[in-house]
Amino acid sequence: MDKGTVALVTGASRGIGRGIALSFLAQGMTVHVTGRTVTDAQAAVHPQLEGSLDGLKAEAEALPGELIVHVCDHADDRQTEAAVAAALRHSGKVDILVNNAWPGYESMVEGDDYTWEQPFWEQPIWRWDAMIGVALRTSFVASRAVAPGMIARKTGLIVNISFWAAQKHHGNAIYGIAKAGTDKMSSDFAHELRPHGVTAISLYPGLVRTEAVMRNAEYFDMSNSESPQFVGLAIAALWVDPNRLEKSGKVHVTADLASEYGFVDIDGKKIVPATLGDF
């Protein structure tokens, strides 16, 4: 068990963030999480937001780690900064920051229009604001807030959840711009943090069995899908790698890390690493 490690996972009420938090808790970490959706009743109002912080709390009760919840709307920088400050007051440090908060998948269908794959000149401008003005921005704001403490201790890990859309057109142009920005941010963070012993990476999950994916499972080939916890296993394995700084500034795929570090998914399944050609 890793009871000395303190992690902060943004956007953990559902999806990948929730899985990462559960994975960390299962290993005994102290895990701070942020999210907007507190109760299942709130989530029920918006089916695309299935999952809540209360639900995460219930699951966490059976796990050895400590969960601390921070209700936070990352569209407000002050709330992001306040959540980080509260985590630091409670635990004295943040060893691992996972920038996962991502409102970009909300409202793919507006009325009767499936706007997700529209060309850039027909994209709703709110999607730019959600993916770049909120998701990309809050990754910067949260990283900016935890970096001084990591630098002072000469250790730390910042993980920015990204995807293959950074490298090829996938879905829509705004999505690609946001993910390319995420990868560039990881690269530049790593350049500036390397002299201080702090690691920053981009991490690409594969097809993850999030709530949204499972609602639409008939449209996916689920044979190589991974649990949300698998992403957390990859980050935890990287954290205990004494040579993790060598991986700083680069893009890593969850299943590649699994192959390198020798772990499998929570159901015992070995995940085949995805490549650019798979998307």
H/E stretch holding 29: none
In three-state secondary structure terms, 238 is helix
- Does residue 171 come out as left (phi exceeding 0), alpha (psi in the -120 to 50 range) or beta? left
User: Cα(265)–Cα(257) distance, rounded to whole angstroms?
Assistant: 12
User: Burial level of 267, CB count in 10 A (0-12/13-18/19+)?
Assistant: exposed
List Cβ<8 Å contacts ≥24 apart for 119-127: 119/172, 119/173, 120/172, 120/173, 120/174, 123/172, 123/173, 123/174, 127/172, 127/174
Q: Please state whether beta strands 113-114 and 109-110 pair in parallel, antiparallel, or not at all (unpaired).
A: antiparallel
Contact 229, 68 (CB under 8 A): no
Choose, from 105, 175, 204, 219, the residue flagged as catalytic.
Answer: 175
Active site residue 175: yes
3-state secondary structure 148-217: HHHHHHCCCEEEEECCHHHCCCCCCHHHHHHHHHHHHHHHHHHHHHHHHCCEEEEEECCCECCHHHHHCH
- By annotation, the residues acting in catalysis are 175
